[in-house]
Amino acid sequence: MSQNTVDQRNPVDHRAVVESVRSARTFELELPIVGAIPVPRPEQIAYFAVMGLMVAFEIIEWPVAVTIAAGHLLATEQHNHVLEEIGEALEGV
């Protein structure tokens, strides 16, 4: 049986699946005094690093980079919100 198919003998607990997806897309760094600090995913870190390099090499102006980064964050947050709604809908099934 391939890994992509669900074994019908062991029913899938949707709540457990939703929790694993939620925990996989976030990562927190626990600091002694500050507490838990959310760390972006590696692809987001790379995105913002490239934006920073483009500003450093004066390829784009910093206000343009801030605007693009803010749009990226808003789009990512909207995408995450949609995924949470899908997960909540699956919990009700």
Distance CA 58, CA 61 (A): 6
Q: For 60-87, write each residue's pLDDT tens digit.
A: 999 999 999 988 888 877 666 676 777 7
User: Looking at the domain assignment, is residue 46 inside a domain?
Assistant: yes
Quick check: is 67 in a domain? yes
- Is residue 3 a part of any domain in this protein? no
Q: Considering its fold, how many domains does the chain have in total?
A: 1
* In-domain check, residue 28: yes
The pLDDT assigned to 1 comes to 44
pLDDT exceeds cutoff 70 at 42: yes
Helices 42-56, 62-91: inter-axial angle, 10-degree rounding: 170
The answer to the question of residue 76 being in a domain is yes
> Within a domain: residue 68?
yes
Q: What is the pTM of this model?
A: 0.55
pLDDT interval class at 12 (50, 70, 90): low
Domain that holds residue 50: 14-91
